[in-house]
Amino acid sequence: MVLGGLTDPFGFGSVTGDEETVANDLETDLSVFANMRYRFTQGPHQAFAYLLFILLYVPCMAAMGAAFRGLGRGYGLLLMGYLTVLGWSVATLYYQLTLGHRTVWVLTACTLLGLMFGGFWLLGRKRRIQLI
């Protein structure tokens, strides 16, 4: 079908529940599903929290090298710290709200996010004052 990519951009239509069919559609081995079940014992929410962290934390070293070259060392390190804290906080919040239910980790992640955004606000305010 020509519109298949538009109507199902993530390919969820191929996920039928039958692992053998999905493995054939994705051209992969059935051991992939066994490894995922072994690693993520608490189910799909645990795997999704992991994916959130992977998608948000520091990208590849080539991208960071380009960022360091364009931003300088100080802002490059700030970018690395920001991305790591953001990835960890979002993944931790998702995991704790869906599976963990531990208040201390929710508060820790929220505190880190608040401190980070407050620091950026102060950094932006300081920069605006210098420009005036």
Residue-wise pLDDT tens digits, 54-93: 999 998 899 999 999 999 999 999 999 999 999 999 999 9
Tell the burial category of 94 from Cβ atoms under 10 Å away from its Cβ (0-12, 13-18, 19+).
buried
Which tokens belong to 95?
Answer: 């995991």
Q: What is the pLDDT of residue 44?
A: 87
Same domain, 77 and 21: no
Same domain, 102 and 53: yes
**Interatomic CA distance for residues 123 and 67, integer angstroms:** 19
3-state secondary structure of 124: helix
Please determine, for residue 11, whether its predicted confidence score (pLDDT) is greater than 80: no
Same domain, 35 and 61: no
**30 lies in which domain range?**
1-39
Same domain, 62 and 125: yes
Same domain, 60 and 101: yes
Same domain, 63 and 93: yes
Same domain, 88 and 66: yes
Q: What is the pLDDT of residue 86?
A: 97
Q: What is the pLDDT of residue 37?
A: 86
* Range with lowest mean pLDDT among 22-36, 60-74, 108-122: 22-36
**Interatomic CA distance for residues 53 and 109, integer angstroms:** 13
* Residue linked to tokens 């692992």: 19
Count of domains observed in the chain? 2
Q: What is the pLDDT of residue 36?
A: 86
Instruction: Give pTM, 2 decimals.
Output: 0.77
Same domain, 104 and 71: yes
Query: How many residues are listed for the chain in this entry?
Result: 132
Same domain, 22 and 76: no
Residue ranges in the chain assigned as alpha helix (H): 4-7, 19-26, 31-39, 44-56, 61-71, 73-95, 103-131
Same domain, 49 and 29: no
3-state secondary structure of 72: coil
